[in-house]
Chains A and B, each alone.
Chain A
Amino acid sequence: MNMEKRLSHYIILCALFTSMALAGCKQSMVISKVDYSQPIETVLEPDEKGIVNDIEHGLKFSIMPLQYAETNDTASVTTNEIRMIRGQEGYYFITAPGYKNVYVMKPEKNQMKLEKKIEVSTDGIAKPAFNQREPYIQLISRESGESYALSSKGIENSDKNEPKEAKVQ
């Protein structure tokens, strides 16, 4: 009788392990070398509540947390545009005119999480713009012509990846 009980326990355990193993296999499927890079930055105008809507790429969010991080102010929307580009790895690089920082945001389920705050200027860049220069994101000041090669880690010192036309003449 005991023998029969033990056998049935073993069978149940085996079935349990097999189903767990199968479930584990399903979850572990990974598509690698995905390139999320967006060829052109998106320039979006926030509404009075600070919501921007990128219809082309299907993305809608509030810029108020970014504004708070930049200015400590959420009383009203203080910028008339934000500039955003998605890098090869999938991070969003976001900034706005006059901002001192570029915010590297990681997309997650129903949210974007700050991956890195990159300080690019102590005074802020009045006319910033992003270019896709794989593997980096290039930030340029359209006013001064200064450019920075950015990654999710911060500012990269990699002049060879910077396109000539973006350099200061």
Chain B
Amino acid sequence: MKTTKQVLCRRIASCILAAFIAAGSSLDVMGQAVRSDYEIQRGFKEEYKAISDSIELVESLKEAKMLFERVKRLEDGYKSHDNLLNKVLHPDTFKGRLTDLKRRTITIQRRMATIEYQENKLIRLNDRLAFYGDHLDRLNTRSDSLREAIRQSVNSEKELSGLVRQYRESLEKRDDLILSFVDSIMVAYDQMDFQSVENLEKVRQQLRVDAGGNALAMVEGIVRENIAFLKSNPKISTEEYLRMNAVQQQFEKMWNSLGGKITSIYAEKSDEAREQMNKAIEEWDEQISQKTWASLNRAVSETGIDLPEFNNSQEFYNVLNGFLDNSISSSKEKATEEGYKRYKQFNAFWTNQIKAEWSAFLDQGDVLSNRQMASIDQKLDDWAVNAVPESNNILVYLLGASVLALVVLGVMLAREKNYNRS
């Protein structure tokens, strides 16, 4: 019974709705009946102009879609007057005007879709940057407090070495995080069509306000922290300096590639901000370069290898090459015990230290490229062939000959014994 009532109610509601729609249609027909041709063409022209003007003002995909629907309604509403409109719009046509509007609204729909996609991507990136920012702040704080603890430490050597180990781990994690940040920012910003995003001032404003994910603020923070850290003259190993140098180089490459995009989005005065950052990154570069080369010079001299001082990549490579060329040449002239000792010393430093522990940082930090290292490897092999002293060679040959003679003699004796038994 209840169901029947519900069905009845629904039918009545449907009838009322249908009546309203019919009345609306009828009114519409009546409305059209007293429209003159002049009003029809004026109505079409006004709506065409309104849609055409609105296309320039569209700010969202939703608006673009609504506009496309409006174009379709315009077409449906006026297609019965196409002959009249063709005369009025000459040399344009009704169909031509509609095609033009559709094309423009479809273009704006696509553009808005791209912008919204970029906008979402940028917002997601900002969330990720915010995460990096928090994490980096925590690691910086931890590194600072550990450094302070080490400075003030009056505890046992064991505890101190524990603190130093933690401090180094913390620095390493921080550098890894900066590299991850650089990778993320490179991938995300490089693929982005900033031409479309730049048109959306509101997105830029939103991103500028959202300091948590402000890429420019993060870049500034990282650079500032690193400069301050380096100016504090930290007592860290050559490997750590090389790692920090590699981080700086990667960071600088990222900035050179994306600095313009980042400042155009996040800074009010783009050029000014970029100039400031360029200077700061240059200072970071100077600081890390100076300390890395000093540390590397120290590390070389500590091994006892006598190399001239070097202060940049090219000088370092030239010094190594010069040293190897001279050593090879000397060995070729006369291989001495002293020369052989120097070879072993250099080989140990090159193989166990430079290649085993530093090679990745050398390449990333533009200290020595993999190609240059391969070239040095080749020269080292050449030196190895010529480094062994001749006296030693004769002894080796004599020893070899003696062993061979003993083996032959042993074999012959064994065969003799077997023969006698049989």
Binding site for B on A (CB under 8 A): 39-41, 43, 83, 129-132, 140-145, 165-169
Report the minimum CB–CB distance from A29 to chain B (whole Å): 29
Do the beta carbons of A132 and B33 come within 8 Å of each other?
A: no
Secondary structure dominating the interface of A: mixed
Contact of A140 among B29, B34, B88 (CB under 8 A): B34
The residues of A that contact B29 with a CB separation of less than 8 Å are 169
Closest to B87 in A: A39
> Given A40, A83, A140, A166, which contacts B87 in the complex, CB threshold below 8 Å?
A40
Most buried by A among B30, B37, B39: B37
Contacts of A168 in B (CB 8 A): 33
In the bound complex, do residue B33 and residue A129 qualify as a contact, i.e. CB atoms below 8 Å apart? no
Q: Does B41 have its Cβ within 8 Å of any Cβ on chain A?
A: yes
A141–B41 alpha-carbon span in the complex (Å): 17
Give 21 pairs: A residue, B residue, CB < 8 Å, sorted on A.
A39-B37, A39-B87, A39-B88, A40-B37, A40-B38, A41-B36, A43-B38, A83-B38, A129-B39, A130-B36, A130-B38, A131-B36, A140-B36, A141-B34, A142-B34, A142-B35, A145-B33, A165-B33, A166-B34, A169-B30, A169-B33
Q: Name B37's contact: one of A131, A141, A144 (CB within 8 Å).
A: A131
Name the residue on A nearest B90 (C-beta).
A39
For the complex, give the distance between the alpha carbons of A43 and B34 in Å.
17
Is B84 part of the contact surface with A, judged by Cβ < 8 Å? yes
Complex Cα distance, B38 from A145, in Å, reads 15
The 7 closest A-B pairs by CB, nearest first: A129-B36, A39-B87, A145-B34, A131-B37, A142-B34, A169-B30, A169-B33
| CB atoms of A41 and B32 under 8 A apart | no
Residues of B within 8 A of A144 (CB): 34
State in angstroms the CA–CA spacing of A43 and B39 once bound together: 10
B residues sitting closer than 8 Å to A (CB atoms) are 29-30, 32-39, 41, 84, 87-88
Complex Cα spacing A40 to B33, Å? 17
Are A39's CB and B84's CB within 8 A? yes
Complex Cα distance, B35 from A166, in Å, reads 8
Contact check, B33 vs A166: say whether CB atoms are below 8 A apart. Answer: yes
CA distance A37 to B133 in the complex (A): 75
B residues less than 8 Å from A40 (CB atoms): 37-38, 41, 84, 87-88
Query: From DSSP, what is the main secondary structure of chain B's interface residues?
Result: helix
Contact of B33 among A39, A131, A167 (CB under 8 A): A167
Known: A39-B84, A40-B87. A142 touches B36 (CB 8 A): yes
Q: Kindly provide the distance from the CB of B84 to the nearest chain A CB, expressed in whole angstroms.
A: 7
Complex CA distance for A140 and B33, rounded to whole angstroms: 10
Residues of the B chain whose Cβ atoms lie less than 8 Å from the Cβ of A141: 34
When distances are taken between beta carbons in the complex, the residues of chain A under 8 Å from B41 are 40
With A40-B38, A130-B38, A144-B34 known, 11 other A-B pairs at CB within 8 A are A39-B37, A39-B84, A40-B87, A129-B36, A130-B36, A132-B37, A145-B34, A165-B32, A165-B33, A165-B35, A169-B29
Q: Complex formed: what's the CA distance from A159 to B102 in Å?
A: 39
Shortest Cβ distance from A146 into B: residue: B34
The residue among A130, A142, A167, A168 with the most chain B CB atoms within 10 A of its own CB is A142
Tell me, rounded to whole Å, the shortest Cβ–Cβ distance linking B39 to chain A.
7
Instruction: Give the docked Cα–Cα distance between A143 and B33 (Å).
Output: 10
> Is the beta-carbon distance between A41 and B38 smaller than 8 angstroms?
yes
In the complex the two chains form, what is the Cα distance from A39 to B83 in whole Å?
10
Determine the chain A residues whose CB is within 8 A of the CB of B87 once the complex forms: 39-40
A93 to B36, CA, bound (A): 15
CA distance A169 to B29 in the complex (A): 9
Q: How far is the CA of A130 from the CA of B35 in the complex (A)?
A: 10
List the B side residues contacting A140 at CB < 8 Å.
34, 36
- The residue of chain B having its C-beta at the shortest distance from the C-beta of A43 within the complex is B38
Q: How far is the CB of B144 from chain A (nearest CB, A)?
A: 79
Q: How far is the CA of A89 from the CA of B39 in the complex (A)?
A: 24
What are the residues of chain B within 8 A of A41 when measuring CB–CB? 36-38
Expressed in whole angstroms, the minimum distance between the Cβ of B145 and any Cβ of chain A is 82
Query: In the complex, A83→B30 CA distance in Å?
Result: 23
Q: How far is the CB of B235 from chain A (nearest CB, A)?
A: 88
Please, which residue of chain B has its CB at the minimum distance from the CB of A41? B38
Contacts of A130 in B (CB 8 A): 36, 38
CA distance A129 to B35 in the complex (A): 9
Residues of B within 8 A of A166 (CB): 33-34
Query: How many whole Å from B353's CB to the nearest CB in chain A?
Result: 90
When chains A and B are docked, how far (Å) is the Cα of A130 from the Cα of B34? 11
Q: How far is the CA of A128 from the CA of B32 in the complex (A)?
A: 15
Question: Closest residue to A133 on the B side, CB-wise?
Answer: B37
Q: Is B32 touching A129 in the complex (CB atoms < 8 A)?
A: no
Bound complex: CA A143 to CA B37 (Å): 15
Q: Are B30 and A129 in contact (CB under 8 A)?
A: no
Return chain A residues, CB-CB under 8 Å to B84: 39-40
- Closest CB-CB distance, A28 to chain B, in whole Å? 33
> Which of A129, A165, A167 interacts with B38 by CB under 8 Å?
A129
Residues of A within 8 A of B32 (CB): 165
Q: How many angstroms from the CA of A143 to the CA of B88 in the assembled complex?
A: 24
Chain B residues contacting A145 (CB-CB under 8 Å) are 30, 33-34
Q: Which of B30, B34, B35, B38 contacts A143 (CB 8 A)?
A: B34
